[in-house]
């Protein structure tokens, strides 16, 4: 099922690219710094039972009206206390990603984002010295999503619904769809 979903998404993206190449756009030669954009995710949450820090900047380039691509880094740290289960867990993620976006219409996009995330963590008993350490390893993810880029000032508000198509058991995204809200400066 996952392979069929991934194949369908890729075919849809490439068919839009093929249509986009038929329309003529005035092309500028070389690199245009005005087509760069910056964004990503930033989140902080602090409380008595949980902490979350997410710093995941990205940089991208808008090649034309239909295509954009870029890269970024991920850093996520979370800590949760489960008193009723008698343990506290700490979990970290650090990684790299690249992304490609196709805009079939001006403000709507489809996005694919392969990632390689190094994950680590531990669980510690609240009532004893017992501790369990997760094996540190690189976990691949392939994030597929659909979103909107809403013009605002010198950039765009980004709203997207996403899903990890690979569904690795250690994926930092879990097994459900998730939503991103952000702002891209530029393009």
**12-16, 141-145, 152-156: lowest mean pLDDT where?**
12-16
Total domains present in the chain: 1
**Helical (H) or strand (E) element with 149:** strand 131-152
Residue-wise pLDDT for 30-74, tens only, equals 889 989 999 888 888 888 888 889 999 999 999 999 999 999 999
Written in H, E and C, the secondary structure of 61-106 is EECCCCEEEEEEEEEEEEEEEEHHHCEEEEEEEEEEEEEEEEEEEC
Q: Is residue 23 part of a domain?
A: no
**Count of C-beta atoms within a 10 Å radius of residue 60:** 23
Flag whether 51 is in a domain. Answer: yes
The whole domain housing 130 covers 2-17+36-186
Helix (H) or strand (E) holding 115: strand 108-125
How far apart, in whole angstroms, are the C-alpha atoms of residue 54 and residue 44? 6
Considering the entire predicted model, what is its pTM?
Answer: 0.75
* Residue 53 belongs to some domain of the structure: yes
Separation of alpha carbons 80 and 49, rounded Å: 6
Quick one: pLDDT at residue 60? 95
- The predicted pLDDT at position 75 comes to 95
Lowest mean pLDDT among 14-23, 31-40, 60-69, 83-92: 14-23
CATH of residue 82: 2.40.160.20
């Amino acid at each position: 099922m996952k392979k069929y979903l991934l194949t369908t998404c890729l075919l849809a993206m490439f068919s839009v690219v093929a249509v986009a190449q038929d329309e003529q756009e005035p092309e500028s030669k070389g690199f245009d710094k005005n087509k760069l954009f910056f964004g990503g995710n930033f989140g902080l949450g602090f409380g008595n039972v949980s902490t979350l820090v997410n710093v995941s900047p990205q940089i991208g380039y808008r090649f034309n009206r239909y295509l954009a691509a870029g890269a970024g880094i991920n850093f996520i740290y979370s800590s949760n206390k489960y008193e009723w289960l008698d343990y506290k867990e700490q979990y970290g993620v650090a990684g790299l990603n690249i992304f490609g976006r196709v805009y079939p219409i001006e403000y709507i996009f489809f996005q694919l984002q392969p990632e390689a995330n190094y994950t680590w963590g531990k669980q510690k008993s609240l009532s004893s010295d017992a501790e369990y350490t997760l094996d540190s390893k690189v976990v691949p993810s392939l994030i597929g999503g659909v979103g909107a880029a809403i013009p605002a000032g010198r950039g765009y508000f980004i709203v997207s619904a996403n899903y990890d198509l690979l569904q690795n058991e250690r994926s930092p995204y879990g097994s459900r769809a998730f939503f991103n809200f952000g702002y891209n400066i530029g393009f």
